[in-house]
Amino acid sequence: MKKAVCFKNLCKIVLIAFFCFGIAHTGFSADSVQSLKDQGKKYYWGLGGEQSYSKALQLYLQAAETGDAESQYISGGMYLKGLGANKDFFKAFKLLHEAAKNGKSTAESEQILGQAFLVGSGVPKNYQKALQWYHLAAEKGSKEAQNELGFMYFVGNGVEQDAEKGGAFFLKAAFNGMVVAQYNVGIMYYTGKGVKAADLEKSYGWLNLAAAKGYKPAMAAREYLESALAPNELAAAQNYSVELMKAIVP
């Protein structure tokens, strides 16, 4: 009987020791996580001493392992840019994805996640997930996400084709200053697809903006339209470009 009692007590001691061991190695208080982040920040910026991306990354990764969204976001960004370690898109994606699921994301990180799912980089292709992240990024003003959504809807890439919906996203990106989107809008007005009707003056107006930024396909298209438009039409088209410039986000 005594042996049975001793055995039970021994089991209790082992279990207590096991759980204490686990807490000591995996349990982080909010203060300790914040301490890791504060130390990481000091090394990242060199505040009051040594500047070291590698030490900053290791500290942020420790905090990220606890599920801290901000640390996951920062660590992911560092892997993406190659700060403190070699560039590693797979690790960057994983951390940025976890951060986003935990409530920490930006238009930039959401666009990166959308792009990863669209092309199958670091994660299997998934057009629906690409759409999900692109829409979130687009709503926050990402011109890259707006342009990608425009393309997906315009050609029906992983979604039911809707040229007008695609055109609306191209326009958003164009007004946000994206040169490729400005070219896309110019082509839409030239063909009449994605807009209510073809309009060569508006086509020239948008192509003129993209060409002014050195975009070669737009420069070639602008040159062609200059030979196709009558002098009064060309003057109106160039004046339209001036008006557009006033509405473009810098």
> What's the CA gap between 108 and 223, in Å, rounded?
35
**What does each C-alpha distance from 123 to 81, 110, 116 come to in angstroms?**
19, 14, 7
> What's the CA gap between 120 and 36, in Å, rounded?
33
> What's the CA gap between 110 and 143, in Å, rounded?
12
Average pLDDT estimate for 32-45:
95
Whether the pLDDT of residue 17 is over 70: the answer is: no
| Contact present, 77 and 96 (Cβ < 8 Å) | yes
Question: pLDDT tens-digit profile of 77-112?
Answer: 999 999 999 999 999 999 999 999 999 999 999 999
Q: Residue 4 — pLDDT band, cuts 50, 70, 90?
A: very low
Q: By percentage, how much of the chain surpasses pLDDT 90?
A: 85
Whether the pLDDT of residue 21 is over 50: the answer is: no
pLDDT of residue 250: 77
If you ran DSSP here, which 8-state letter would residue 202 be given? H
> What's the CA gap between 183 and 205, in Å, rounded?
10
What lies within 8 Å, CB to CB, of 68 at 6+ separation is 33, 37
| Contact present, 55 and 43 (Cβ < 8 Å) | yes
**223 SS3 class:** helix
| Best CA proximity match to 118, nearest among 131, 104, 137, 135 | 131
Fold for 106-172, please state it: 1.25.40
Q: Residue 249 — pLDDT band, cuts 50, 70, 90?
A: confident
pLDDT of residue 13: 36
Render 5-65 in DSSP notation, one character per residue: HHHHHHHHHHHHHHHHHHHHHH---HHHHHHHHHHHHHHHHTTTS---HHHHHHHHHHHHT
Question: pLDDT tens-digit profile of 129-142?
Answer: 999 999 999 999 99
| Contact present, 175 and 184 (Cβ < 8 Å) | no
Question: pLDDT tens-digit profile of 180-236?
Answer: 999 999 999 999 999 999 999 999 999 999 999 999 999 999 999 999 999 999 999
Q: CATH 1.25.40.10 occupies which residues in the chain? A: 35-104, 106-172
| Contact present, 63 and 38 (Cβ < 8 Å) | no
Q: At what angle do helices 200-212 and 231-247 cross, to 10 degrees?
A: 60
Residue 236 CA to its chain's centroid (Å): 38
Q: Residue 122 — pLDDT band, cuts 50, 70, 90?
A: confident
pLDDT of residue 53: 97
Q: What is the CATH architecture of 35-104?
A: Alpha Horseshoe (1.25)
